[in-house]
Amino acid sequence: MFITALAVTFVAVALSGCLSPRYVDMNTEELISTVQGGEYDEVRGKGPACDAASALGLRKAEAAVDVLIDALSGPAEDCMASALGQIGDPRAVEPLLDAMADECEGFDRKLRDDDTYDVTDVCLDFQSADDAPIAIGNAAVDPLLALAGVGAEPQAELAVVVLGEVGDSRAETYLVERLANYRSSTRETIEPEFVRRRAAEALAKIFRSHVESLLPRLQSQSTVGIAYGIIGLGQSSTEPDLIRALQTFGDLPLAEFYLNCGRPSLEAAATDWGVEHGYTLRYPLPRIGGGTAPRGWGDL
């Protein structure tokens, strides 16, 4: 009896977390009604609507998905998004990416006058690894691929990043296409080089444990951008292939990335590439990747 009682106690603690017993004891319909009530203290960052959403997420209450999606436009957006991620229903993927895109527009308003920033790049770097679309996992892949292919910016770029975090190989064909077609991109709001880098990073995350499968893509002009992702994985066995790729197919953005990556052999290769192509090394080194510090060797 003691063991049984102890097990029940642990389950109750795990389910309740920081929630008060009031929300743990509510039934699903009551919790949904509380979310719809929308009571939330923006200053304190909590309130009944947020607590009810958390309880629904812990229960994986699929009946609440539509209500939580509707509440994404309210002040307790983060609570609703977290709950949707816990529930894991793929219907939430597109609304969640829309909410993330709205956050990017907020960055746009703040940084509009500073042309050293790629606004979407900055926004993506502020999206944490446990964002709700990522938490949905493999069930999110099909809607993500649909959004990545035809979605408006920056939703499509957000989808590329989330696909890499989810890590499902079904995304490979699409990501390789984005990697290969960056030069012919007609997008006006997203820098093509940024698209190439994000696609490469996503592929590297998916094939992290089989990096050798990425190396043949270094042998083509169209897919040499995979170097961004391979550098991020930071495996010393890839250095000779990376150096050959820069020497054979390198361009200025890729050479600058090598120069800033923190790996001496790649920095030396980039310096040689610059001399050969008539460039002069500048100090401080150029800032790559929009408004954030460049990713480097092993950063993925």
3-class SS of residue 110: helix
Closest CA to 274 of 291, 244, 251, 292: 251
Q: Give 208's DSSP letter.
A: G
Q: How far is it, in rounded angstroms, from Cα 153 to Cα 47?
A: 33
CA of 183: how far to CAs of 99, 166, 222, in Å? 29, 26, 9
> What is the structure's pLDDT at 205?
92
> What is the structure's pLDDT at 95?
92
Compute, in degrees rounded to 10, the torsion defined by CA atoms 142, 71, 100, 85. -50
CA of 300: how far to CAs of 96, 123, 131, 244, in Å? 24, 18, 17, 22
**Which residue do the tokens 């609703």 mark?**
80
CA of 208: how far to CAs of 83, 144, 200, in Å? 29, 20, 12
Q: Model confidence over 135-194: pLDDT tens digits? A: 999 999 999 988 877 555 677 778 888 888 898 999 999 899 888 765 544 444 344 577
Q: How does DSSP assign 250-275, residue by residue?
A: --HHHHHHHHTSS-HHHHHHHHHHHH
Question: In this structure, how many other beta carbons lie within 10 angstroms of the beta carbon of residue 119?
Answer: 22
**183 Cβ partners below 8 Å, 6+ apart?**
192
> What is the structure's pLDDT at 8?
40
Q: How far is it, in rounded angstroms, from Cα 225 to Cα 278?
A: 22
**73 Cβ partners below 8 Å, 6+ apart?**
99
**105 Cβ partners below 8 Å, 6+ apart?**
none
Q: Which two tokens stand for residue 156?
A: 């499509």
Q: Give 103's DSSP letter.
A: H
Angle, CA of 40, 91 and 39, to the nearest 5°: 10
For 128, phi and psi rounded to 5 degrees?
-80, 165
Q: Which two tokens stand for residue 257?
A: 């990335």
Sign of CA dihedral 24, 27, 29, 30: negative
Tell me which residues of the chain have a pLDDT lower than 50: 1-16, 108-117, 119, 126, 128-130, 184-191, 284, 286-293
Q: Which two tokens stand for residue 280?
A: 């002069």
> What is the structure's pLDDT at 157?
78
Q: Which two tokens stand for residue 128?
A: 């944490």
**103 Cβ partners below 8 Å, 6+ apart?**
123, 126, 127
Give the global pTM.
0.75
Q: How far is it, in rounded angstroms, from Cα 78 to Cα 82?
A: 6
